[in-house]
Amino acid sequence: MSALATTTDSHLLVEARPCPMSTCAAPAGSPCRTGKGKVAIQYHTARFRLVPQLAKTLNVPTPPVRKPGSAWVELPRPRNEGAEPAGHVRLGYARASTARQSLDTQLDSLTEAGVTRIFSEKISTRATRRPELDKAVALAREIRASGAAVTLVVHEHKRLGRGIDLATLAEELKASDVGLEFLTGELKGSHDPSGVVFTVLAALSGMEREYVRDRTLEGHESARKRGKTIGGAGVTDDDMLSMALHLRDQEMSLRDIAKRLVITTGTKKGQHPSPATVMRMLREYDEKVATVASV
């Protein structure tokens, strides 16, 4: 599958499941919709990535048969929509922060809990990427998309992360309808994606993002008043801004927008900009537009 999905029946695969985006929530059988009640020109990333064949696809356009840009109306739902999951798979994840720490206790508890497959690694919570956790989540999504119920089982919630990292992961699992189970600790027990734990973690994630954003903006403003330069060498350009504006119009999150953009110059060439960089670029653009409009 190429970066841009062009298979004629891709939209049917995507529409087999409802859109997990709260701003869309299109039911199975219908195309995605914008906040203005129009048929979106492309399916939301969180929705088409529930389909294993499209997991690595960057864009799934809405086909002409769905009349993108027209007023959104709900279409007939698939007959098997809402059917009970076929089977239940339990995947485990274990992590230690340093090479000297043992995973034996976690592995033993996961085995006793009847976990089918265990992903384990020794890596710090501060690491931006945890390969084995990424593999566990990817497999959970693939299995859930096939129709089986999936639960990610962990010895304790701290093994997944703390604060915004844990909350962000919970949001990703909720979007894929994957459950969580902690064998010990404050959050011990099984948690359904529609349950209170996921809701609380999502709320905490939003609160912490707002807190970080406000503190960051305050710091930037303080630095500007002192004549200090913020950040290192610029990684944005006009083409990146244009694409970011287009994706924002599709109501994508900063994280999803950042994943679609590629730095073309400098030492970070070929990498994706951070969500913070995207936020700053869009904010500066909005400020310039506002300034011009007020003149």
- Is 131 or 1 the better-scoring residue by pLDDT? 131
Neighbours of 6 (CB within 10 A): 12
What is the set of active-site residues?
97
Are the beta carbons of 161 and 204 closer than 8 angstroms? no
- Is 5 or 48 the better-scoring residue by pLDDT? 48
Distances in Å between the Cα of 239 and the Cα atoms of 224, 235, 236, 243, 254 are: 26, 11, 8, 6, 17
Q: Place 9 in a pLDDT band, splitting at 50, 70 and 90.
A: low
What pLDDT sits at residue 269?
83
The HSE-up count of residue 19 (CA atoms within 13 Å, CB side) is 21
* Prediction pTM value: 0.45
What pLDDT sits at residue 171?
74
Mean pLDDT of 54-76: 88
Mean pLDDT of 179-204: 74
Mean pLDDT of 3-12: 56
pLDDT above 50: residue 20: yes
Residue 97, amino acid:
S
What pLDDT sits at residue 227?
60
Q: Place 231 in a pLDDT band, splitting at 50, 70 and 90.
A: very low
Residue 261 to residue 273: CA distance in whole angstroms:
7
Mean pLDDT of 166-188: 82
Q: Place 5 in a pLDDT band, splitting at 50, 70 and 90.
A: very low
| Mean pLDDT value across the chain | 78
What pLDDT sits at residue 204?
53
- Catalogue all structural domains in the chain, each as residue range(s) with its CATH number: 1-77 (no CATH), 88-202 (3.40.50.1390), 238-294 (no CATH)
What pLDDT sits at residue 33?
94
- Give the torsion through C-alpha atoms of 127, 131, 136, 141, to 10 deg: 100
What pLDDT sits at residue 104?
92
pLDDT above 90: residue 106: yes
Output the six-digit token pair for 294. 């007020």
Burial 176-186 (b: 16+ CB within 10 A, else e): bbbbbbbbeee
Q: Place 217 in a pLDDT band, splitting at 50, 70 and 90.
A: low
